[in-house]
Structure 1
């Protein structure tokens, strides 16, 4: 199903690249005339001449219609000025044998509905943001497709290994056997010929216990073989989403660290040191040996350099 669509896409691209600048001007002019004069209006019907009209007949029809659409006879009408300018282009195309032949081709066969990227690019010129958005979506989509491909491949590989282990443990009839059986599973190219298994030269030791299959490691540990080791594809795992989440977490972590109070904020403005324990603060509910003694015997405290220092008695 995908191959015909691919050929159709290539054909449309080839057709689009075959159109030159003059063709795109004809497309633009046809669309503009249908918008202003009515759907289905052609160059010939607008001039009211047949498609077989001679150059002199076209020139005569142009002079007649241009007198009606002349801006001097319709002052202040911007649409009339646009139609008058458009009429001049139509007349120039039909009076030129080469451009008229090109227009007659589209006149007989129809103007293409799908007009290629160049046609739409002339109307909508994407900016840098649009281009970057497109590239991000495209690259992320391709990465997600690769994730899906790898996921399916790994799942098939696990199912193949499990099947080979059960086949080695249970035999060709695949009848489950109770208990554990240590088997050797060969990896590589394998084919079956009349119930004879032709194996590759790479092998791993495995243990089959019921329906469970384990890889027997060198240290004797058994690692289960199941789909839990395969990472499923997720949009969150694409590079752009991962980058956004990483930047967000980093900024959030920085803001959290900046919001934490520093040690200087705990210091009191009256010069007390922030290293004073809770037992030394008033109203802490804890009685220290110094507070339990006679208050008259306490040494007065003096301030020096904004820190608490006890006065030393001079002898």
Structure 2
């Protein structure tokens, strides 16, 4: 919803910016140049010294009077006098023209817009290829970060829903913790499917284990994988596409120095006969099984639990 509102706002700005014509942009430039040279808040009328209600004849007389004061021949060696004199002629021409004065009076009463369209700024500043690439990189990286945040919020809601469903299945609607861990099957939802006999299969289900202390695990290939709010990867600026690309290139072309922990790990993995140990040398761990009574209670045998670091820890039934 917020993203839709943002797109609508940008579309509105683009529409307004497209509405300004060449003559409007000329007035924008004159207003900026006049305030920069004569002071903030200086208007066409105040500089020529006439009221906004002045007639065309009054404006012409005021112009002749002001032009005599600013004429370059009467101000030899004065810095910027040529630009001021030329600007006076352009401003006087706008105010003495009915259409030009009508345009200026609109901005005089309502104010000159701060955003004047990308075309206006591009024509005046003409960014180079490098500036354009930097702008596009920042823009796309910012959008990538916004998408990360949206996905993170969606993943958190999904994880909390799965945990809640697992606890409801294991403990019942009152959510009274069981005395022992329980294995349950949680439906992840999704569109219904049909088997070969035409029976309805309501979405995809996964096996989960709910501990008595409230910890929830996914049971996959005999391994218990913890699931909680830390499971979802949080958004980070370093994960945006450009910084991630730089990090990948840096890691590829710059060799990583071996740390002390790496050296210890190599020593620990080498046996007395000089051979390196592997995971296949480790003893097999027993996996959880359902009790024969069909209650969903798991036997108190040790099970393998995967952690983020890739190691395993034994979890036994609490007595």
TM-score interval, smaller chain: 0.5 to 0.7
Q: Does 1:175 align with 2:155?
A: no
| Contact 1:185-1:206 at 8 Å conserved across structures | yes
Could you tell me which residue of structure 2 aligns to residue 165 of structure 1?
166
Alignment of 1:68-107 (within 5 A): 68-107=69-108
Deviates more, 1:60-69 or 1:47-56: 47-56
Deviations 1:153-182 (A, max 9, x none): 222222222221221111111111112323
Could you tell me which residue of structure 2 aligns to residue 226 of structure 1?
228
Deviation of 1:227 after TM superposition, in Å, equals 4.3
SS in 1 for 2:255: helix
Could you tell me which residue of structure 1 aligns to residue 207 of structure 2?
205
Select the structure that is richer in helix: 1
Deviation of 1:85 after TM superposition, in Å, equals 0.5
Partners of 2:40 and 2:145 lie apart in 1 by 44
Could you tell me which residue of structure 2 aligns to residue 15 of structure 1?
16
Partners of 2:121 and 2:34 lie apart in 1 by 18
Alignment of 1:1-315 (within 5 A): 11-188=12-189, 200-210=202-212, 211-217=214-220, 219-227=221-229, 229-253=231-255
Partners of 2:41 and 2:216 lie apart in 1 by 72
When residues 22 and 179 of structure 1 are mapped into structure 2, their CA distance, relative to the original with a 3 A threshold, is same
Could you tell me which residue of structure 1 aligns to residue 292 of structure 2?
none
Could you tell me which residue of structure 1 aligns to residue 278 of structure 2?
none
Q: Which runs of 5+ in 1 are unaligned?
A: 191-198, 255-315
Deviation of 1:12 after TM superposition, in Å, equals 4.5
Partners of 2:230 and 2:56 lie apart in 1 by 78
Partners of 2:170 and 2:26 lie apart in 1 by 74
| Contact 1:187-1:200 at 8 Å conserved across structures | no
Partners of 1:231 and 1:96 lie apart in 2 by 63
What TM-score, normalized by structure 1, do the two folds share? 0.66
Deviations 1:225-270 (A, max 9, x none): 334543222222222112212222333239xxxxxxxxxxxxxxxx
Partners of 2:230 and 2:98 lie apart in 1 by 72
Partners of 1:166 and 1:64 lie apart in 2 by 88
SS in 1 for 2:112: coil
Partners of 2:203 and 2:20 lie apart in 1 by 59
SS in 1 for 2:173: coil
| Contact 1:183-1:206 at 8 Å conserved across structures | yes
Partners of 2:215 and 2:187 lie apart in 1 by 18
Partners of 1:42 and 1:33 lie apart in 2 by 8
SS in 2 for 1:168: helix
When residues 162 and 48 of structure 1 are mapped into structure 2, their CA distance, relative to the original with a 3 A threshold, is closer
Larger relative CO (CA 8 A, sep 6+): 1 or 2? Answer: 2
RMSD: 3.3
What TM-score, normalized by structure 2, do the two folds share? 0.66
Partners of 1:45 and 1:242 lie apart in 2 by 56
Partners of 2:25 and 2:109 lie apart in 1 by 17
